[in-house]
Structure 1
Amino acid sequence: MRNTVLIIFTLCTCFTGLSQYNFKGQIAEKKSGKTIYLSIIEDYRKFGRISMEQILKKTVTDSLGNFNFMGDNLNNDNRIYRIHLDDCTDTSTHVEHFFEQCEHSRSILFIANNNDSITFPTSFANQALCEITSTNSKSTAFLDIDVLKEQMAFDFNEFRSEANKKLNSKKWFKTLQEFGKDLNEPLAELYIFDFLSDKRNGTYTYYLKDIGSNSYYDELGERLASIYPNASFTDLYLSDIVIDQQLANKNSPRSNFWKWLLPTLLILSILLNIYLILRQRKKSLHIQNESLAKLTEQENNIVNQILKNKTNKEIAAAMFISVSTVKTHINNIYKKLEVTSRDEIKQRYT
C-alpha cells in the first residue's frame, strides 16, 4: 500500500512538472519556410500593431504549411498573445513587417497561458489564422467580440445621421461592455475598451461622455487590479482612465476646480520631491560620515583613489605601497562598509 501511494505521488509530481503550452496550426498554402511569430501583448494600445519588442518566438512552416510553438516559458495566468504570419516578399522592409503595413501579413489575437493546447486550423473557406480550437475557454473571446464589432459597424453605416449615431453609441457601448463582463475575463474587456476609446474611431466622442458618468470603467479597473495586480497593462489602464476622466470633465462645472487643483498638485509634487531629495542628501551625508569614521586614514586615502576610478596598480603607485597591501586594505574596507564591490563604495560616497 505504501509503495502504491509513493508511485501515485511520483506520477502526479511528474505530470505537474510537465506543464507547458502547445500552439499549432496550418496556413492555407502548403508551403514550407513561411515565417510565423508568437508575440505577447503587454500594452493593450498595440493590439493592432506588430512590433519587435513583443515577439517571443519564431518558427517556419513545414512542407504541408504546419507550424508549432511549444515550451514552458509563458505566464501561468492568462495573457494576450498573437500568432503572426509574415508572408511579405523578401524585398519588403522590416518596418512594413512589424507595423502591419504589409498586405500579405496575417495575424490572430488570442488569450492563453502556459498550460494551454491551441490549434489554429484553416477555415472552411481555406483561410488561415481565423479560427481557434483551445483547451482555454477564453481563447476565442476576441473572435466573438469582433463579430459584435462587425454588427456595430453595420448599424452605424445603415443611417449616417447624427441622431442614429447617438442612439447606436449608447446601445453598443452598453452591449459591448456587458458582453465583456459576461465573459468573466478582464483581458477581453481591455480589448473592447481599446476599441471604444480609440481616437481614430467614431466611438471616441461618446466614450469621453460615457467615461465621465459611467462607473463601468472604475469597476473594470478593480477587476484588473484583483485578477492581474502586478501586470503592466493594469497600471497602464488605471493611468489612462484617470487622464481620460479628467479630459471628459474639462467642460463640466467642476472644470475650474480641476484647472486650479492640477497646478497646485504639481507645485506640491515639486516641493515634495525637493524635500525628499534634500532629506536623502542629508541621510547620505550622515551615512558617509559614519563610514569615514570606521576607516583608518590610509583606508580613507584608498577610498578616495577608488572614487577616482584608479586600479589597484595605480593606487599602489600613487601611495607608494605594494599592490598586495592595497588589496588587503580594500578587503578591510569592504568588511567595515559592508559592501562587496567598488561600485557599491562609489554609490555609498555619491
Structure 2
Amino acid sequence: MRIKLLFVFLSISSICKAQYSFSGYTNPEEWDRAVYLSIVEDYRKMSGVYSEQIIAKTTADSSGFFEFKGNMLDTENRIYRIHVDKCSDIQQGVNHFNGHCSDSEALLFIAKNTDTLKLPFSFGNQVFCRVESNNPKANAFVKIDSLKNDMRFAYGEFRSEANRKLNNKKWFKTLQYFGEALDEPLAELYIYTYLSDRSSDLHSYYVEDLKQNQYYDNLKARLETTYPNAPYTKQYTNELEADRYMLAASNGETASNWNVILYSFLGLSIILNLFLLYHFWKRNQSKIDDLKAKLSKQEQVVLEHLLMDKTNKDIAESLFLSVSTVKTHTNNIYKKLNVQSRNDAKSLFTK
C-alpha cells in the first residue's frame, strides 16, 4: 500500500513539475522593463510585433532579469517569441501597426510546455543572442539568422547586378538545404517564408523551383507527420495549393481547364435544348392526335385537305363527294374542334 501511495505521489509530483520556464536578461539601461511572450501561429507573422499574439507579460527586475513560467503552453513544439521594446502600453497600437516596430528586440524560438529556456547576456551585454535550452530545437531560428547574416555579407561584398544574381541562386539552395538538415519542419517554415516572400529578390527562384522540385511536397509530408494538428500545417498546405494554382494559371493550364468546363457546359446545354424540343414536339403531337380522335375517319380525311387550303370544290373532286357533303363534314369538324373558320382550325394543327 505504501509503495502504491509513493508511486501516486511521484506521478503527481512529475505532473506538477511539467511546466515551462523561459528566463533571461535584458539591458535595463537600453530597454523598458516590460517583457512580452507571444505564440506565433501564423508563420507569415514571425517577424514583427503583433499584439494579438501576446500571451504573457512580465517585468524585469533592476538587474534586467525576467522569467515566464507556468503550464499553459502546448505539449508539442510551437513557435514562440520574446520581445522587448521602448513603447508604452498606450503607444503599442500605433507603433506596432502592421507588426512594424523600429524600437524593439526579439527572439524567435521553438518550445513546448515542459521546456526550460535561458537567454543570458552575450558579448557587450547584447540581449537575445544566446539560447540555452533542454529542447535541442530551441535555437534553430538563431542558427538560421546567423546564416542569413553571412548571406547579407556576401551580397555586400560586391554591389553589382551580376553578383546579386549569382548570390540569389547560391543562397536559395543553401538556405533550403540548411533548413532540411536541421530536421525540424518549423525551422524549414522559417526559411520557406523568407524564400517565398513576394517582395524578396528570391521569389522568382522560388517560383521556378516550385515547378520541378519535390522538396515542397516532402516538407508538407514532414509537417503532416510531425505536426498534424498544428495551424502551420494547414496554412502551408493552403499556400502551396494557391501558389501552384497561380503557377498553372500563368502557364495557361487553368485556361485550358476552363475551356474543357465551358465546352462541357455547352454540350450539356445543347443536349438539354434538344430534349426540351423533343418533349415539346411529343406534347404537341399528342394534342393533335387527341383533336383528330374527335373526328370520324371521313372527317379526318376532309380535315387534311382543309389544312392544305383546298376549296370545297377541290376537296369534293378529290374524294368523289358532292360539295354539300364536304360542307356538312366541314361544319361537323368546326363544331367538334370548337372553331369558327378554316384559319382557326389550321392554328390548332400548325403550332
TM-score (norm 1): 0.68
- What secondary structure does 1:84 align onto? strand
What residue in structure 2 maps to residue 104 of structure 1? 103
Task: Please say if residues 26 and 122 of structure 1, whose CA atoms lie closer than 8 Å, have aligned partners that are also in contact.
Answer: yes
Shift of 1:162: 4.9
- The alpha-carbon deviation at position 97 of structure 1 amounts to 3.8
Q: Distance in 1 between matches of 2:74 and 2:126?
A: 29
Q: Which runs of 5+ in 2 are unaligned?
A: 265-351
1:94 Cα deviation from its structure 2 partner:
2.3
Q: Is residue 30–residue 63 contact of structure 1 (8 Å, CA) maintained in 2?
A: no
Is the CA contact (8 Å cut-off) linking 2:49 and 2:101 kept in structure 1?
no
Matched, 1:35 2:34: yes
Change (3 A) 1:93 1:42: closer
- The answer to whether the 8 A contact 1:228-1:234 is kept is yes
CA offset at residue 184 of structure 1? 1.3
Instruction: State how far apart, in whole Å, the 2-side matches of 1:212 and 1:259 are.
Output: 21
CA separation of 1:158/1:134 partners in 2, compared to 1, >3 Å: closer, same or farther? same
Query: Aligned ranges for residues 108-257 of structure 1 at < 5 Å?
Result: 108-252=107-251, 254=253, 256-257=255-256
User: For residue 76 of structure 2, what is the aligned residue in structure 1?
Assistant: 77
Segments of structure 1 that go 5 or more residues without pairing to the other structure are: 266-350
Q: 2:312 is matched with which residue?
A: none
Note closer, same or farther for the CA distance 1:17–1:263 as it changes in structure 2 (3 Å cut).
farther
What residue is the counterpart of 1:285 in the other structure? Answer: none
Larger Rg, first or second structure (1 or 2): 2
1:204-261 residue CA offsets vs partner (Å, 9 max, x unmatched) = 1111111111111111111111111112121111010111122233343645435547
Contact 1:176–1:192 (8 Å) recurs in 2: yes
User: What displacement does 1:64 show?
Assistant: 1.5
> CA shift at 1:159, angstroms?
4.0
Q: 1:164 to 1:210 in 2, by over 3 A?
A: farther
75-84 or 246-255, which moves further after superposition? Answer: 246-255
Q: Which residue of 2 aligns with 1:21?
A: 20
State how 1:263-302 maps to structure 2 within 5 Å.
Answer: none
- SS of alignment partner, residue 23 of structure 1: strand
Query: Following the alignment from structure 1 to structure 2, what is the Cα–Cα distance between the partners of residues 185 and 148?
Result: 16
Identity among equivalent pairs (%): 43
CA distance in 1, matches of 2:67, 2:262: 54
Shift of 1:179: 1.4
CA offset digits 1:136-192 (Å, max 9, x no partner) = 111100010011112222333434555544433332222212211221111000100
Question: Partners in 1 of 2:121 and 2:232 — Cα distance?
Answer: 31
Report the equivalent of 2:56.
Answer: 57
8 Å CA contact 1:209, 1:248 repeated in 2: no
Following superposition, the deviation at residue 24 of structure 1 comes to 0.7
Preserved contact between residue 21 and residue 70 of structure 2 (Cα < 8 Å): yes
Q: Residue 262 and residue 118 in structure 1: after superposition, are their counterparts in 2 closer, same or farther (change >3 A)?
A: farther
Deviation at 1:3, TM superposition (A): 3.4
Question: Equivalents in 2 of 1:98, 1:151: separation in Å?
Answer: 30
**Cross-structure match for 1:86:** 85
Q: Is the 8 A contact 1:25 1:67 kept in 2?
A: yes
Distance in 2 between residues matched to 1:152 and 1:262, nearest whole Å: 47
With 241-250 and 59-68 compared, the bigger mean Cα shift is at: 241-250
- Structure 2 distance, partners of 1:39, 1:248, is 34
For residues 251 and 208 of structure 2, the distance between their equivalents in structure 1, rounded to whole angstroms, comes to 11
Quick check: 1:208–1:247 contact (8 Å CA) kept in 2? no
Contact 2:31 2:85 in 1 (8 A): no
- 1-structure distance, mates of 2:253, 2:31: 62
Residues of 1 paired with 2:29 and 2:97: CA distance?
24
Structure 1 stretch displaced more, 4-13 or 61-70: 4-13
**Which one is further off, 244-253 or 33-42?**
244-253
SS of alignment partner, residue 167 of structure 2: helix
In 1, the alpha carbon distance for the partners of 2:164 and 2:140 equals 26
SS at the partner of 2:125?
coil
Between the aligned partners of 2:219 and 2:262, the Cα distance in structure 1 is 29
